[in-house]
Amino acid sequence: MSENSITITDNRSGRSATAPIEHGVFPSAMVRELDKGLFMYDPAFLSTASCASSITDLDGANGILRYRGYPIEQLAEQSTFLEVAYLLIHGELPDKAEHEQWVHDITFHTYIHENIGSFMRGFNHDAHPMGMMVSVMAALSTFYPEAKDIDDTQNRLIQITRVIAKIPTIAAFTYRHSVGLPREYPVNHLDYTANFLRMMWAVADPNHEPDPVLAKALDVLLILHADHEQNCSTTTMRTVGSAQADPFIAVAAATCGLYGPLHGGANEQVINMLHEIGSIDEVPAYVERVKRGEVLLQGFGHRVYKNFDPRATIIKKTADEVFAVTGTNPLLDIALKLEEVALKDSYFIDRKLYPNVDFYSGLIYEAMGFPMDFFTVLFAIGRAPGWLAHWVELINDPEQKIYRPRQAYIGTEARDYVDIDAR
Q: Which residues are known catalytic residues?
A: 263, 302, 358
Specify whether the CB–CB gap between 392 and 89 falls below 8 A.
Answer: yes
The DSSP output letter for 413 is: P
Q: How many CB atoms lie within 10 A of CB 169?
A: 22
Q: Which of 248, 203, 243 is nearest to 388 (CA)?
A: 248
Using CA of residue 391, residue 83, residue 153, residue 259, what is the dihedral sign?
A: positive
CB of 142 to ligand CMC, least distance (A): 31
> Residue 290, interface with ligand CMC (CB under 6 A)?
yes
> Residue 351, interface with ligand CMC (CB under 6 A)?
yes
Specify whether the CB–CB gap between 354 and 343 falls below 8 A.
Answer: yes
Q: What are phi and psi of 56, to 5 degrees?
A: -125, 130
Exactly one of 358, 366, 373, 393 binds ligand CMC (CB under 6 A); that residue is 358
Beta bridge partners of residue 15, listed in sequence order: 10
Q: Which of 40, 12, 13, 10 is nearest to 25 (CA)?
A: 40
> Residue 303, interface with ligand CMC (CB under 6 A)?
yes
Mask 177-216, x = binds ligand CMC (CB under 6 A)? ----------------------------------------
Distance CA 174, CA 168 (A): 10
> Residue 339, interface with ligand CMC (CB under 6 A)?
no
Select the span of 81-89, 240-248, 350-358, 368-376 touching ligand CMC (CB under 6 A).
350-358
Buried b (16+ CB within 10 A) or exposed e, 175-214: bbbbeebebbebbeebbbbbbbbbbbbbeeeeebebeeeb
> Residue 222, interface with ligand CMC (CB under 6 A)?
no
C-beta closer to ligand CMC: residue 234 or 242: 234
Distance CA 174, CA 408 (A): 42
> Residue 298, interface with ligand CMC (CB under 6 A)?
yes
> Residue 53, interface with ligand CMC (CB under 6 A)?
no
CB of 320 to ligand CMC, least distance (A): 21
Select the span of 24-32, 73-81, 291-299, 380-388 touching ligand CMC (CB under 6 A).
291-299
> Residue 226, interface with ligand CMC (CB under 6 A)?
no
Select the span of 32-40, 99-107, 293-301, 397-405 touching ligand CMC (CB under 6 A).
293-301
Exactly one of 241, 301, 310, 386 binds ligand CMC (CB under 6 A); that residue is 301
> Residue 356, interface with ligand CMC (CB under 6 A)?
yes
Exactly one of 353, 364, 368, 377 binds ligand CMC (CB under 6 A); that residue is 353
> Residue 355, interface with ligand CMC (CB under 6 A)?
no
Closest residue to bound ligand CMC by CB: 301
Distance CA 423, CA 418 (A): 6
Q: How many CB atoms lie within 10 A of CB 224?
A: 25
Q: Which residues contact 196 (CB under 8 A, 6 or more apart)?
A: 168, 171, 172, 218, 381
CB of 388 to ligand CMC, least distance (A): 18
CB of 302 to ligand CMC, least distance (A): 5
C-beta closer to ligand CMC: residue 64 or 181: 64
Q: Which of 137, 146, 318 is nearest to 225 (CA)?
A: 318
Q: How many CB atoms lie within 10 A of CB 123?
A: 17
Select the span of 6-14, 273-281, 295-303, 369-377 touching ligand CMC (CB under 6 A).
295-303
Select the span of 18-26, 299-307, 393-401, 412-420 touching ligand CMC (CB under 6 A).
299-307
> Residue 302, interface with ligand CMC (CB under 6 A)?
yes
Mask 244-273, x = binds ligand CMC (CB under 6 A)? ----------------------x-------
Distance CA 212, CA 198 (A): 11
Distance CA 79, CA 77 (A): 6
Select the span of 67-75, 95-103, 277-285, 355-363 touching ligand CMC (CB under 6 A).
355-363
C-beta closer to ligand CMC: residue 202 or 357: 357
Residue by residue, DSSP assigns 173-196 as: HHHHHHHTPPPPPP-TTS-HHHHH
Q: How far is CA 370 from the centre of its chain?
A: 18
* Residues binding ligand CMC (CB under 6 A): 228, 266, 290, 296-303, 351, 353, 356-358
